[in-house]
């Protein structure tokens, strides 16, 4: 696997109670503070690990994608030190395909939750009448807080459990 450029493919090791989860940037943001697609990789590092262990996890099919602003975190920040074990450039696997559609929800004034499907990078939202299994497999369009993401990965849930 070739080492990537500092942007696309950059890998972050998120500290969890199950080990270190691997997050990989899958697109270059327009600015350091912009949201970008991040691959949530399938697997955890434990104990002494090598670059080869990281590369093996990165080569697996991702659990899902998530929009995150990870590029704004620097190794000197308190948030980085609290949540991340490392970050390193590592090229995206050639098999990675960014999702065409994502899913999300909005809460109306009366408290009703409406789910929608949207094309990645677009603002147009198509509301759905029912939550089908295919719909529930779509990656979410909203960024999660780091504690929420860490808790989700620690419990071993799948993206279709996110409702």
Q: In terms of Cα–Cα distance, which of 131, 122, 123 is closest to 163? A: 131
Q: Which secondary structure element, helix H or strand E, spans residue 104, and what is its range?
A: strand 101-107
Say how many residues make up the chain: 163
pLDDT greater than 70 at residue 40? yes
Residue 55: which domain range? Answer: 11-161
Mean pLDDT, the chain, rounded, equals 88
Give a yes or no: residue 3 inside a domain.
no
DSSP assignment of 3-54 equals: ---SSTT-EEEEEETTEEEEEEE-S--SSTTS-EEEEEEEEEE-SS--HHHH
pLDDT greater than 60 at residue 3? no
Give a yes or no: residue 65 inside a domain.
yes
Confidence at residue 7, expressed as pLDDT on a 0 to 100 scale: 56
Q: In terms of Cα–Cα distance, which of 71, 16, 70, 2 is closest to 44? A: 16
Give a yes or no: residue 68 inside a domain.
yes
Give a yes or no: residue 2 inside a domain.
no
Cα–chain-centroid distance for residue 137? 14
For the chain, the domain total comes to 1
Residue 9 binned pLDDT confidence (cut-offs 50, 70, 90): confident
The count of other CB atoms within 10 Å of the CB of residue 15 is 16
pLDDT, tens only, 57-116 = 999 999 999 988 887 788 889 999 999 999 998 989 988 999 999 999 999 999 999 999
């Amino acid at each position: 696997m070739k080492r990537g450029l500092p942007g696309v493919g950059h890998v972050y090791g998120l500290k969890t109670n199950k080990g270190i989860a691997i997050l990989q940037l899958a697109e270059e943001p327009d600015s350091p503070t912009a949201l970008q697609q991040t691959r949530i990789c399938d697997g955890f590092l434990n104990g002494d690990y090598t670059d080869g262990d990281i590369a093996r996890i990165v080569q697996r099919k991702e659990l899902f994608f998530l929009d995150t602003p990870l590029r704004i975190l620097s190794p000197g920040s308190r948030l980085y030190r609290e949540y991340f074990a490392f970050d390193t450039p590592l090229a995206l696997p050639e098999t990675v395909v960014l999702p065409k559609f994502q899913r999300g929800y909005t809460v109306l004034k009366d408290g009703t939750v409406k789910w929608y499907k949207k094309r990645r990078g677009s603002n147009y939202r198509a509301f759905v009448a029912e939550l089908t299994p295919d719909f529930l497999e779509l990656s979410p369009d909203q960024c999660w807080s780091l504690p929420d993401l860490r808790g989700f990965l620690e419990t071993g849930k799948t993206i279709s459990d996110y409702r």
